[in-house]
Amino acid sequence: MMNLSQILLPALIVLFLLAALWRLIRVPLRIALGLLCNTLLGFLALWLINLLTPITGISLGFNALNALIIGVLGLPGFFFLLLVQWVL
């Protein structure tokens, strides 16, 4: 028959390891989720820009790189993409 220390000690070790793992991945996970959120907002911005193309004449490619640039850099990223499109 197992006594309490044979059950409690492994459970405490596992709990400690899980807490340490959480502390290690918490910040990178927060950064990755923020980047994903900004990229999704960038896709939304690209969709709106392309929706208004007949009115404004401004058109940008609807792809992940453009969405990431607009999502991370915001309005300066949008102007950067317009400048790159104009130069190329």
Span 33-87, pLDDT tens digits: 999 999 899 999 899 989 999 998 888 888 989 999 998 898 899 999 999 988 9
What pLDDT does 5 receive?
77
Rounded CA-CA distance 4/39 in Å is 50
Q: Residue 2 pLDDT more than 80?
A: no
What pLDDT is stored for residue 59 in this prediction? 87
Angstrom distance (rounded) from CA 53 to CA 26: 41
Instruction: Tell me if the pTM is above 0.85.
Output: no
Amino acid 15: pLDDT: 94
pLDDT of residue 4: 76
Cα dihedral 10/12/15/21 (nearest 10) = -80
pLDDT at residue 25 above 90? Answer: yes
Q: Using alpha carbons only, what angle is made at residue 52 by residues 46 and 55, rounded to the nearest 5 degrees?
A: 150
Domain-wise residue ranges, the chain: 4-87
Residue among 72, 79, 4 at smallest CA distance from 40:
72
Q: What stretch of H or E contains 12?
A: helix 4-51
